[in-house]
Structure 1
Amino acid sequence: MSDNFWLVLAIVLYFGLMVAIGFYSWRKTEKYDDYVLGDRGLSPLVAGLSAGASDMSGWLLMGLPGALFVAGMSELWIVIGLFVGTWANWKWIAPRLRAYTEVAKNSITLPSFFENRTHDTSRMLRFTAAVIIIFFFTFYVSSGMVSGGRYYESTFGGDYLHGVLIVGSITVLYTFIGGFLAVSYTDVVQGGLMFLALVTVPLMALFALDNPADIFSWATSNPYGPWEEGNPTYFNMIAGVSAATIVGNLAWGLGYFGRPHIVTRFMALRSPSEAKSARRTSTVWVAICYLGAIFTALVATVYFGQKSASVTDQTGFETVFLDLARIMFHPLIAGIVLTAVLAAIMSTMSSQLLITSSALIEDLYRIFNKNPNHTTLLVLSRAMVIAVALVGMALAINPSDTILGLVGFAWAGFGAAFGPVVVASLYWKRLTAPGAIAGMIVGAVTVFVWGSVDALSGAIYEIVPGVILAGLAMVVVSLLTRPKPGVAEEFDRAAAATDYALAHPDEPFTEALRNRGGASAV
Structure 2
Amino acid sequence: MTETTWFIIAIVLYMGLMLGIGYWSFTKTDKYDDYVLAGRGLNPFVAAMSAGASDMSGWLLMGLPGALFVTGFSELWIAIGLLIGAWANWKWIAPRLRAYSEVANNSITIPSFFENRLNDRSRVLRIAASVIIIIFFTFYVSSGMVAGGRYFEATFGGAYINGLLIVAAVTVAYTFIGGFLAVSYTDAVQGTIMFAALIIVPIMALLTLDNPSDIFSWAASNDYGPYTEGVGNPGYFNMIAGVSATAIIGNMAWGLGYFGQPHILVRFMALRSPAEAKQGRWIGVGWMFLCIVGATFTAMIGTVYFSQNPDIAITDQSAFETIFLDMGRILFHPLLAGLVLTAVLAAIMSTMSSQLLVVSSSLIEDLYKIVSKNLPGEKVLINLSRSAVVAVAIIGGVLAVNPNDSILGLVGFAWAGFGAAFGPLVIASLYWKRLNVPGAISGMVTGAVVVIAWGSSAAGDIIYEMVPGFILATIVMVVVTLATKKPSDETVEVFDRASHLSDVSAKHEDLDIETAAVKADRGEL
* Superposition TM-score tier, normalisation by shorter sequence: over 0.9
Within 5 Å, give how 1:188-203 maps onto structure 2. Answer: 188-203=188-203
Aligned to 2:286: 284
- Are 2:391 and 1:382 equivalent residues in the alignment? no
Could you tell me the TM-score, scaled by structure 1's length? 0.96
Equivalent position of 1:353 in the other structure = 356
Give the 3 Å change call, closer, same or farther, for CA 88–178 of structure 1 in structure 2: same
Q: CA deviation at 1:404?
A: 9.4
Number of the residue aligned with 1:306: 308
* 1:349-498 map, 5 Å: 349-369=352-372, 371-400=375-404, 407-454=411-458, 456-479=459-482, 480-498=484-502
CA distance in structure 1 between the partners assigned to 2:413 and 2:440 by the alignment: 21
Q: Using the alignment, how far apart are the partners of 1:11 and 1:505 within structure 2? A: 40
State the distance in 2 between where 1:236 and 1:459 align: 20
Counterpart Cα distance in 2 of 1:28 and 1:219:
52
Residue 341 of structure 1: how far off its partner (Å): 0.7
What is the CA distance between 1:521 and its match in structure 2? Answer: 9.5
Amino acid at match of 1:232: P
Note the alpha carbon deviations across 1:12-48, whole angstroms, 9 max, x for none.
1011001000000001111000000000000000000
In 2, the alpha carbon distance for the partners of 1:307 and 1:376 equals 58
Give the Å deviation of 1:437.
0.5
Contact 1:139 1:403 in 2 (8 A): no
Paired residue for 1:269?
A: 271
Structure 1 residue 139 corresponds to structure 2 residue 139: yes
Does structure 1 retain, via aligned residues, the 8 Å contact 2:319–2:406?
no
Spell out, residue by residue over 1:361-403, the C-alpha distance to the aligned partner (whole angstroms, 9 max, x if none): 0000111126332222111111111111122223333344599
Give the match's secondary structure for 1:234. Answer: coil
Paired residue for 1:111? 111
Aligned ranges for residues 21-420 of structure 1 at < 5 Å? 21-227=21-227, 228-308=230-310, 309-369=312-372, 371-400=375-404, 407-420=411-424
Instruction: Report the Cα distance in structure 1 between the residues aligned to 2:161 and 2:234, rounded to whole angstroms.
Output: 42
Q: Residue 98 of structure 1 contacts residue 268 of structure 1 at CA under 8 Å; is this kept in 2?
A: yes
Shift of 1:161: 2.4
8 Å contact from structure 1 (residues 313, 319) kept in 2: yes
Amino acid at match of 2:266: T
Partner SS state of residue 376, structure 2 = coil
**How many positions carry a matched residue from both structures?**
520
Q: Is the 8 A contact 1:103 1:521 kept in 2?
A: no
CA separation in 1, counterparts of 2:32 and 2:263? Answer: 18
Deviation at 1:153, TM superposition (A): 2.6
Q: Equivalent residue of 1:22, what SS?
A: helix
CA–CA distance in 1 between the matches of 2:74 and 2:506?
39
Distance 1:395 1:255 in 2: 23
User: CA 1:405–1:285 in 2, change beyond 3 Å: closer, same or farther?
Assistant: closer
- Tell me, yes or no, if the aligned pair for 1:136 and 1:407 is still in contact at 8 Å: no
Structure 1 residues without counterparts, runs of 5 or longer: none
| Distance in 1 between residues matched to 2:494 and 2:460, nearest whole Å | 40
The amino acid across from 1:512 in the alignment is A
1:505 aligns with 2:522: no
CA contact (8 A) 2:23 2:178 kept: yes
- 1:329 maps to a residue whose letter is F
Asked if 2 retains the 8 angstrom alpha-carbon contact of 1:493 and 1:521, the reply is no
Letter in 2 for 1:288: L
Deviation at 1:145, TM superposition (A): 2.1
Deviation at 1:520, TM superposition (A): 6.9
Secondary structure of 1:214's counterpart equals helix
How much has 1:307 moved relative to structure 2? 2.9
Map Cα deviations across residues 35-92 of structure 1 (whole Å, 9 max, x no partner).
Answer: 0000000000000000000011111111111111121111111110011011110000
Distance 2:406 2:477 in 1: 30
Structure 1 window deviating more from structure 2 (204-213 vs 53-62): it is 204-213
In structure 2, distance between residues paired with 1:357 and 1:484: 32
The answer as to whether partners of 1:198 and 1:292 remain within 8 angstroms in 2 is yes
- Structure 1 residues 103 and 19: alpha-carbon distance in aligned structure 2, compared to 1, 3 A threshold: same
* Aligned partner of residue 234 in structure 2, secondary structure: coil
Q: Tell me the SS of whatever aligns to 1:486.
A: helix
Q: 1-side partners of 2:278 and 2:407: how far apart?
A: 38
Between the aligned partners of 1:201 and 1:395, the Cα distance in structure 2 is 32
Closer, same or farther: CA 470–217 of 1 in aligned 2, 3 Å: same
Instruction: State whether residues 513 and 521 of structure 1, in contact with CA within 8 Å, keep that contact through their aligned partners in structure 2.
Output: no
Identity %: 65
Counterparts of 2:361 and 2:268, CA distance in 1: 16
Counterpart-to-counterpart distance in 1, 2:436 and 2:524: 20
- Could you say what the CA RMSD is over the residues aligned between the two structures, in angstroms? 1.8
Conserved 8 A contact 2:147-2:407: no
In 2, the alpha carbon distance for the partners of 1:481 and 1:219 equals 59
2:314 aligned partner, one-letter code: V
Change beyond 3 A, Cα 1:352–1:212: same
Moved more, 139-148 or 87-96: 139-148
CA distances 1:204-255 after superposition (whole Å, capped 9, x unpaired): 1111112222211222222322233322222110011001110111011000
After superposition, the Cα gap between the structure-2 partners of 1:205 and 1:407, relative to the gap in structure 1 and judged at 3 Å, is: closer
CA displacement 1:135-165 (0-9 Å, x = unmatched): 1112222222222222223321223222222
Q: Which amino acid aligns with 1:438?
A: S
